C-alpha cells in the first residue's frame, strides 16, 4: 500500500471528494470529509488543486456502476498528470460482486476502502491497515462522527440506520450494505438537535427501510414510531421529511405518530414496486395487493393532504402483459402524487437473477416508459389544478443564471421532486419558510409569487 505522509502545517494536503448515488451515500461522503478535515486535510472543490481524489461510489444498479467506472477513469487521468497524487475509492461498490473486475481494470487506484473503514480513510492514507470483515458489514455513522454538510445549509439528511433485512428478490442491498443496523433514539435526537442549532430547517430522515427501525434490537423497545415522537418533541422551527418506508412494516402507532406530529410533513415515500400478487410474492415483498390497498386507504383517511410518493419496477422475470396491465391500471386508479419507475436489471447473487423467463430489456424499458409517461401526464394535470391556491414552501436558493427563486412545498423532496419558481424579494432569504400563490404550471414544476 502506498504510504502517505501525514499532513503538517507546512505541507497541508487537500482532497477532492465525489459522492455518487443516493442521499444515504451522501451522508457517508460527509463523514469521510469530516474525518479528513479533523485530521488536518483541507478540502478542494477543484480536483486540479487536490492531492487526494476520493470517490464514494454507488453499486446498486448497472448504471451506477458504469458511472463509478467513468469517475474512476477520470481520477486515473487526473493522477497521470502528477504521479504522486492519490486515488481512494469507497462506498457500496466495494461489496459488489464486480469489485474484482474494477480492481483489475484500475490498478492506478491506491486505496480501495471497504464500508467498515469509511471513517478511517485518514489513517489508511497514512499507511494503516484495512479492517477485518470477518463479522460482516458493521459500520454505522452516528452522532459521534463529524460530518461536513454538502447539502444546502438549511437542509440535512438524518440517517437513522443502515443495512436491510427485507431480502427482496431483486435487490443487492443486503450484500452491499449488510444486515439492518439501527442507531439508538437518544443519539439520533442529539444529532438532530445539533443540525437544527446549526440552522437546518428541513431534516430528511433516511434509511434503507425507515419503518424497520429498531427491529434488529427488539429488546431495546425502540421503533420507528417512538423515534418520530422523540424527533417531533424537539423545539424549533423545522420540518421532518420521511424517505424510504416499506408497506409491510407500517403500524397504527407509526401512522398515528405521523398524523399527530407538528413537524412531520404530510409526505410519505413508500416504494410499492408492483401490485400483482404473483409478482409481489416473487419479489419477496411480504405484502399482497389487498394489504397495499387497505394501507393506502388508511393513510389517505388518517393524514389530511398527504402526498404519496412511490416507485415501481417493470420487467421482473416472468412478468406477463396482463400483470403489467394490472400495475398500469392500479397506478391510474390510485393517482399517486409522485412516482418513479425502474426497468428490472438482474443483480449478481440475487434470487431474481436466477429466475427463469427473464424479460428482454427492450420490453421492460417500454413498459417503464409507458407507466412513467402516464404518470407525468397525470401530474401535469394535477399541477395545473393548483393555480390560484397558496402553499407554504421552503426557499432553497436563487438560480444564478435566471435570477428566479427556487422553492419546494411539502409535496416535494430535495433533488427528487418538483420545484416552484418565483421572483424573490429583498425580505426573504434562502432557508426561510414562505407563502406562495401559485400562478402557473411549467410541466411538472410550478410558478408563483410571494404572498406578503
Q: What is the pLDDT of residue 281?
A: 98
Nearest to 231 by CA among 188, 183, 199: 188
* Degrees to nearest 5, angle at CA 299 with 25 and 214: 45
Q: Is 153 helix (H, G, I), strand (E, B) or coil?
A: coil
Q: What is the pLDDT of residue 72?
A: 98
Pairing mode of beta strands 161-162, 181-182: antiparallel
- The runs of H, that is alpha helices, within 346-400 are 361-384
Q: Is 300 helix (H, G, I), strand (E, B) or coil?
A: helix
pLDDT tens string 158-202: 999 999 999 999 999 999 999 999 999 999 999 999 999 999 999
Q: What is the pLDDT of residue 5?
A: 44
pLDDT of residue 218 exceeding 80: yes
The pLDDT of 108-128, averaged and rounded, is 95
Buried b / exposed e across 152-161, counting CB within 10 Å, b at 16+?
Answer: bebbbbbbbb
Q: State pTM to two decimals.
A: 0.95
Q: What is the pLDDT of residue 409?
A: 98
Average pLDDT over the chain, rounded to an integer: 95
Beta pairing partners, 240: 203, 264
Task: Please provide residue 37's backbone torsions phi and psi, each rounded to the nearest 5 degrees.
Answer: -65, -45
Q: What gap in Å lies between CA 331 and CA 273, rounded to an integer? A: 11
pLDDT of residue 237 exceeding 50: yes
Collect all residues with Cβ–Cβ distance below 8 Å to 147 and sequence separation of at least 6.
27, 30, 31, 33, 34, 141
Q: What gap in Å lies between CA 255 and CA 261, rounded to an integer? A: 10
Least confident stretch, 6-20, 32-46, 235-249, 303-317:
6-20
pLDDT of residue 2 exceeding 70: no
pLDDT of residue 7 exceeding 50: no
Q: What gap in Å lies between CA 260 and CA 257, rounded to an integer? A: 5
Give the position of cell 463529524: 146
The pLDDT of 106-122, averaged and rounded, is 96
Q: What gap in Å lies between CA 308 and CA 296, rounded to an integer? A: 9
Q: Tell me if 309 sits within 8 A of 417, measured CB to CB.
A: yes
pLDDT tens string 67-112: 999 999 999 999 999 999 999 999 999 999 999 999 999 999 999 9
Q: What gap in Å lies between CA 198 and CA 449, rounded to an integer? A: 29
Buried b / exposed e across 202-218, counting CB within 10 Å, b at 16+?
Answer: bbbbbbbbbbbbbbeee
Collect all residues with Cβ–Cβ distance below 8 Å to 6 and sequence separation of at least 6.
40, 126
Nearest to 171 by CA among 304, 319, 299, 352: 352
Confidence of residue 38 (pLDDT cuts 50, 70, 90): very high
pLDDT tens string 341-357: 999 999 999 999 999 99
Amino acid at each position: 500500500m502506498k504510504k502517505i505522509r501525514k499532513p503538517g502545517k507546512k505541507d497541508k494536503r487537500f482532497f477532492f471528494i465525489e459522492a455518487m448515488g443516493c442521499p444515504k451515500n451522501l451522508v457517508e461522503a460527509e463523514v469521510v470529509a469530516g474525518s479528513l478535515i479533523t485530521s488536518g486535510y483541507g478540502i478542494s472543490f477543484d480536483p486540479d488543486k487536490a492531492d487526494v481524489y476520493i470517490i464514494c461510489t454507488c453499486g446498486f444498479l448497472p448504471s451506477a456502476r458504469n458511472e463509478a467506472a467513468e469517475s474512476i477513469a477520470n481520477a486515473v487521468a487526473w493522477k497521470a498528470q502528477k504521479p504522486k497524487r492519490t486515488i481512494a475509492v469507497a462506498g457500496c461498490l466495494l461489496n459488489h460482486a464486480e469489485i474484482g473486475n474494477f480492481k483489475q481494470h484500475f490498478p492506478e487506484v491506491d486505496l480501495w476502502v471497504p464500508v467498515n473503514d469509511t471513517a478511517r480513510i485518514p489513517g489508511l492514507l497514512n499507511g494503516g491497515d484495512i479492517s477485518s470483515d470477518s463479522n460482516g458489514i458493521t459500520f454505522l455513522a452516528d452522532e459521534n462522527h463529524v460530518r461536513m454538510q454538502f447539502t444546502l445549509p438549511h437542509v440535512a439528511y438524518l440517517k437513522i440506520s443502515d443495512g436491510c433485512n427485507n431480502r427482496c428478490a431483486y435487490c443487492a442491498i443486503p450484500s452491499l450494505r449488510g444486515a439492518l443496523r439501527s442507531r439508538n433514539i437518544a443519539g439520533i435526537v442529539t444529532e438532530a438537535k445539533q443540525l437544527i442549532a446549526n440552522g437546518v430547517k428541513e431534516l430528511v430522515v433516511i434509511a434503507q427501510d425507515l419503518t424497520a427501525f429498531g427491529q434488529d434490537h427488539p429488546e431495546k423497545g425502540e421503533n420507528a414510531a417512538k423515534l418520530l415522537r422523540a424527533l417531533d418533541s424537539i423545539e424549533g422551527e423545522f420540518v421532518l421529511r420521511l424517505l424510504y418506508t416499506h408497506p409491510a412494516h407500517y403500524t397504527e402507532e407509526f401512522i398515528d405518530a405521523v398524523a399527530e406530529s407538528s413537524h412531520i410533513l404530510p409526505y410519505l415515500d413508500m416504494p410499492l414496486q408492483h401490485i400483482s400478487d404473483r409478482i409481489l410474492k416473487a419479489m419477496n415483498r411480504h405484502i399482497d395487493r389487498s394489504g397495499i390497498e387497505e394501507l393506502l386507504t388508511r393513510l389517505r383517511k388518517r393524514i389530511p393532504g398527504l402526498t404519496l410518493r412511490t416507485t415501481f419496477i417493470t420487467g421482473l422475470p416472468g412478468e406477463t402483459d396482463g400483470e403489467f396491465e394490472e400495475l398500469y391500471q392500479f397506478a391510474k386508479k390510485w393517482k399517486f402524487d409522485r412516482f418513479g419507475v425502474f426497468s428490472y436489471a438482474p443483480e449478481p447473487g440475487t434470487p431474481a437473477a436466477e429466475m427463469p423467463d427473464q424479460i428482454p430489456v427492450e420490453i421492460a424499458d417500454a413498459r417503464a416508459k409507458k407507466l412513467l409517461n402516464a404518470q407525468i401526464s397525470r401530474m401535469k394535470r394535477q399541477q395545473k389544478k393548483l393555480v390560484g391556491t397558496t402553499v407554504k414552501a421552503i426557499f432553497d436558493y436563487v438560480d444564478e443564471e435566471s435570477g428566479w427563486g427556487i422553492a419546494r412545498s411539502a409535496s416535494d423532496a430535495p433533488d427528487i421532486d418538483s420545484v416552484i419558481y418565483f421572483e424573490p424579494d429583498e425580505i426573504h432569504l434562502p432557508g426561510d419558510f414562505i407563502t406562495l400563490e401559485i400562478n402557473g404550471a411549467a410541466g411538472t414544476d410550478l410558478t408563483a409569487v410571494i404572498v406578503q
